Amino acid sequence: MKSEELLGKLSEERLTKGGVRRGKFKVSEDSATIEMIRDRALSQEQALLDAGLDPHDWEIYQWECTEWDVTMGHKSTRAGVQRHTNYRIACKARRKKKPAIAAVLEDIGPVLAKVRKAPVRKGRPRLPSKNKHLLEIGLYDHHIGMLAWEREGGENWDVEIARNAFVGACDQMLAKTAGYPVEKILLPMGNDFFHVNDDSKSTPRNGNSLDVDGRICKLYRAGVESLLSAIQMCADVAKVEVLWVPGNHDPDTSFYALMLLHHAFAGDKRVTVDIDSPESLMPRKYIRYGNTLLGYTHGCDEKVSQLPLIMATERPEDFGKVRCREFHVGHRHSPREDRVVAGSVQGNVSIRTVPSLVPPDGWHYRKGYVRGERWAEAYLYGEEEGYTGTFTAWAK
C-alpha cells in the first residue's frame, strides 16, 4: 500500500504476505503510526516497507517490539500442536527533512530549463574603438531575502523588490556605458547577495537573528533568477566573467548559486563562471586587465589598511607591472574610497568600499545605520589607461 493512499485516514486489514498477521497504519503528510502483529521479528526498514513507506524518505523515531508464545493445534484432539512466537511492532515515524540545498535544486530545475531555451537577444550597439575596456557591475550586498518594513525602518524591502532592483540596476549600468567599447564584463557575486545561509534565519558565524522574507527556497529561486537575467543582459553586450566572493551572510548559498550558474551556462562561450582556477574557492580574488590589477574580498575579515600589502604579497609580479591597483570590498553598504601605500612598495592602492541598494532593516535602523539616497556603482577600466570612470545606478 502506497503512503499516498494512506494520507489522512486510518486503515486496518488482515495481511498474511510477508509474515504480517494484522496491521494498522495511520499516515499523514509528515508523520505515521504503525502497529503490526507478525510471526517473526523484523527490522525498522522492513516495518516502513510493510506500511508502504519508503525508508529513504521516512525514519522511525519511536520503536517498541514485544513478543509472546502461543500454542496452536486442533482444539479437541490437540493434534499437530505447535508453539509459535508472535511479535507486536508499535512505532512512530516521520518524514525525513531534505537538506536545504536538495529542496532548492528540485525547485530551481524548471527555471534552468527555461533559461536554456531562452533566445539570445541583440546586444546594445557599441562604438568601434581600439581602446578596449573592462566593465565591472558592482551590485554588492544585495541581501535577497531580507525583510524591511517602511513603518519600522523607513523603506520596504522584500524578495520581489530585491529582484527588480538587481535586474533594473544592471540594465541602468549597461545603458550608461553604452558609448564605451566594452570587451569584457566582470560580475562579482556573493558579497551577501543572499541575506541568509539556511532556514535558521540567523547569520552563520554569530547566530544573529535576521528578518527574512519567507523560506530559503523562495529567496534562493528569486536570487538565481536575478543572476540569470543579469548575466543574459550582460552577455548580449560582451563576454562575461562571474567571480565568487563569499560574504558573511551567504558563504554557502552563494556558492550553491555559483555552481548552478556554472551548469546553466555550460557551453555558452559568452559566459565564464569561475570554479576551476586555483583561487576560485578562495575568499580573495584578483583580476589583471591590461594596466589594472583588481582585488576582491567581502571586507568582513581583513583590515582595510592591510589590503595593499596583501595584494603586493599575493600578486607581486602583477603588482609591479601595472599602474592602476584597486581592492573592492563590500560589507558596509556605504561608499568610501581610501588610498593606501602597500608597505615599502612604492605605489598607491585604491580601496573602494562599494555601496549597496539595500535599505536598513529594523535592527540597523534602531542602531542608527541609516542612509539618504541608495545607489550601486559600475566601474570602467581602459586596457591602457586603467580606471576610466564610475557609473551610478540609483535605487527606484
Q: Are 356 and 330 in contact (CB under 8 A)?
A: yes
- How do the domains of the chain map onto residue ranges? 3-95, 100-394
pLDDT (0 to 100) of residue 79 = 60
Query: Is the pLDDT confidence value at 107 over 80?
Result: no
Query: Whole-number mean pLDDT of the chain?
Result: 83
d(C-alpha 48, C-alpha 39), whole Å: 17
pLDDT number for residue 8: 38
Which has more confidence, 56 or 223? 223
Q: What is the pLDDT of residues 243-290, one digit of tens each?
A: 999 999 999 999 999 999 999 998 899 999 988 888 888 999 999 999
Please tell me which of 111-120, 327-336, 380-389 the model is most confident about, judged by mean pLDDT: 380-389
Q: Is residue 173 very low, low, confident or very high in pLDDT (cuts 50, 70, 90)?
A: very high
Question: Angle at the Cα of 183 (from 178 to 184), degrees rounded to 5?
Answer: 100
Amino acid letter, residue 286: Y
Entry pTM: 0.69
From the candidate CATH numbers 1.20.120, 1.10.3470, 3.60.21, 4.10.51, the one assigned to the domain spanning 100-394: 3.60.21
The residue among 211 and 19 whose pLDDT is bigger is 211
Q: How does DSSP classify residue 304? A: G
Q: What is the mean pLDDT of residues 197-215?
A: 86
Q: What is the DSSP letter of 7?
A: B
Q: What is the mean pLDDT of residues 137-160?
A: 92
Q: Which of the pair, 172 or 373, is modelled with greater confidence?
A: 172
Q: What is the pLDDT of residue 366?
A: 80
Among 5-9, 53-57, 230-234, 249-253, where is mean pLDDT lowest?
A: 5-9
CA dihedral 351, 356, 359, 362 (to 10 degrees): -50
Please give the average per-residue pLDDT across 192-220, as a whole number. Answer: 88
Predicted confidence (pLDDT) at residue 13 exceeds the cutoff of 70: no
Q: Are strands 292-296 and 285-289 parallel, antiparallel or unpaired?
A: antiparallel
**Which residue in the block uniquely carries the three cell numbers 580601496?**
351
> 3-state DSSP call for residue 395?
coil
3-state secondary structure of 201: coil
The per-residue pLDDT for range 322-331, each reduced to its tens digit, is: 999 999 999 8
pLDDT at residue number 137: 97
Distance from C-alpha of 344 to C-alpha of 147, rounded to nearest angstrom:
46
Question: Does the pLDDT value for residue 144 go beyond 90?
Answer: yes
